[in-house]
């Protein structure tokens, strides 16, 4: 029988994936639907941020010592809220909160997952109308089911993620998520208010022509990184170039573009901040998981991002991530350091 179909929505897609595993409980599908709902709510506020009094600093400073924007708080509360009221999540860690939140009720204590997220990455770009995003990583808890989740659930290496994803609030709003089975992208269709499958089975091109790095920090980078950047600038037709430098200052948008078009994103350590700026659990791990599943690579310059075992919740890490051939070339320089 031929059934006429329109594009699959996020909910339909996750259910379709579930049908392939008759023993699955549906908890992960439900969790992804919860995240999709929070993303839609945040999207509404992001879109009207210029019109209402939701722009600008909230007057508080987050645990990283950075100004917290009002939309950050709104986004944090939305994602935390859907996960708390859902049936799949035992607790969360958020870049905006000092400590993890253990939901500790009967349903949550019986849930198998915890989620770590950055509710609004690139918030410095909010008030200038530039793309921002949400990033999340989902882990199967290591603590005993039936009891409240514990700190150990949130300090797992990134290779223990069962799913990771991001939402980019850009010219369109997109939700991209990865499981071990693949990476799929959904564009928010405003006419029906649903994320619809627009980018099935995303693969990161093995090579690209884009390199993304904050050039303002160039003289703070170690020599090998500087040499690689010089190489990027010198590329021409004879060796895969010329390259283009693109750096938005919202890693969600930068890495999303490179994932689709091929490229490399770098946030190296600097003399002042040897561990760089990005947070391992909220930013590096989810993107490393997604990029690896898509065929790319992610390291901190010395080791695979996904193999780092975190020792603290808000740990920072240098990040080099992108197309496999570009990453391999970068690593040749880093090895010489
Ligand atoms: P924030 O959420 O505080 O605006 O930080 C954004 C992150 C990341 O998304 C981006 O790539 C990077 O910080 C930009 O930092 P620099 O301005 O130091 O390059």
Residue 286: the pLDDT is 98
Compute the distance from residue 278 Cα to the ligand 1 centre, in Å. Answer: 8
The C-alpha atoms of residue 31 and residue 11 are separated, in whole angstroms, by: 11
- What are the helix (H) ranges across the chain? 10-19, 27-47, 70-85, 106-109, 223-234, 251-261, 285-293, 324-335
164's tokens: 């990771």
Instruction: Give the closest residue to 80 by CA, choosing from 102, 110, 107.
Output: 102
Pick from 267, 280, 282 the residue to mutate for probing ligand 1's pocket: most ligand atoms within 8 Å of its CB: 267
DSSP letter (8 states) at residue 284: I
pTM of the model as a whole: 0.94
Question: 117-157 pLDDT, tens per residue?
Answer: 999 999 888 878 899 999 999 999 999 999 999 999 999 99
Instruction: Give the closest residue to 211 by CA, choosing from 250, 287, 265, 257.
Output: 265
* Ligand 1 atom, smallest distance to 121 CA: 2
Question: 91-126 pLDDT, tens per residue?
Answer: 999 999 999 999 999 999 999 999 999 999 998 888
Q: Is 249 in the pocket of ligand 1 (CB under 6 A)?
A: yes
Residue 57 has pLDDT above 90, yes or no: no
24's tokens: 């699955």
Question: 177-204 pLDDT, tens per residue?
Answer: 999 999 999 999 999 999 999 999 999 9
- For residues 64-68, average pLDDT: 63
Q: Is 123 in the pocket of ligand 1 (CB under 6 A)?
A: yes
Question: Rounded to 5 degrees, what are φ and ψ at 113?
Answer: -115, 155
The C-alpha atoms of residue 46 and residue 195 are separated, in whole angstroms, by: 16
Instruction: Give the closest residue to 310 by CA, choosing from 140, 164, 162, 158.
Output: 158
Choices 3.50.50.60, 3.40.50.150, 3.40.47.10, 3.40.190.80: CATH for 210-336 = 3.40.190.80
Question: Rounded to 5 degrees, what are φ and ψ at 282?
Answer: -95, -30
The C-alpha atoms of residue 251 and residue 236 are separated, in whole angstroms, by: 26
Q: How confident is the model at residue 54 (pLDDT cuts 50, 70, 90)?
A: low
**β-pair partners for 212:** 265
Task: Map out the domains of the chain as residue ranges.
Answer: 10-199, 210-336
Q: Is 194 in the pocket of ligand 1 (CB under 6 A)?
A: no
Class for the domain spanning 10-199: alpha beta
């Amino acid at each position: 029988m031929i059934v006429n179909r329109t594009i699959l929505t996020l909910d339909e897609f996750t259910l379709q994936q579930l049908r392939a595993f008759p023993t699955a409980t549906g908890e992960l599908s439900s969790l992804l639907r919860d995240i999709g709902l929070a993303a839609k709510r945040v999207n509404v506020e992001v879109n009207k941020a210029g019109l209402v009094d939701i722009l600008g600093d909230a007057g508080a400073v987050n645990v990283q010592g950075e100004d917290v924007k009002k939309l950050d708080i709104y986004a944090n509360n939305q994602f935390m809220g859907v996960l708390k009221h859902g049936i799949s999540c035992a607790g969360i860690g958020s870049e905006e909160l000092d400590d993890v939140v253990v939901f500790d009720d009967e349903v949550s204590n019986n849930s198998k997952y915890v989620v770590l997220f950055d509710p609004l990455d690139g918030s410095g770009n909010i008030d200038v109308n530039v793309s921002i995003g949400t990033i999340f990583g989902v882990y199967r808890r290591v603590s005993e089911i039936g009891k409240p989740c514990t700190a150990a659930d949130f300090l797992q290496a990134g290779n223990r993620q069962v799913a990771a994803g991001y939402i980019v609030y850009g010219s369109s709003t997109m939700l991209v998520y990865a499981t071990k089975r693949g990476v799929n992208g959904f564009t928010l269709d405003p006419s029906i208010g649903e994320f619809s499958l627009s980018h099935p089975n995303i693969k990161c091109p093995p090579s690209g022509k884009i390199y993304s790095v904050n050039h303002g920090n160039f003289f703070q980078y170690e020599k090998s990184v500087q040499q690689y950047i010089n190489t990027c600038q010198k590329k021409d037709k004879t060796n895969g170039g010329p390259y283009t430098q693109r750096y938005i200052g919202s890693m969600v948008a930068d890495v999303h573009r490179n994932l689709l078009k091929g490229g490399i994103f770098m946030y190296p350590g600097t003399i002042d901040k040897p561990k760089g700026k990005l947070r391992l659990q909220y930013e590096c791990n989810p993107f490393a998981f997604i990029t690896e599943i898509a065929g790319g690579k992610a390291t901190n310059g010395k080791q695979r991002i996904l193999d780092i075992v975190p020792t603290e919740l808000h740990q920072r890490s240098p990040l080099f991530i992108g197309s496999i051939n570009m990453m391999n070339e970068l690593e040749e320089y880093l090895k010489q350091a």
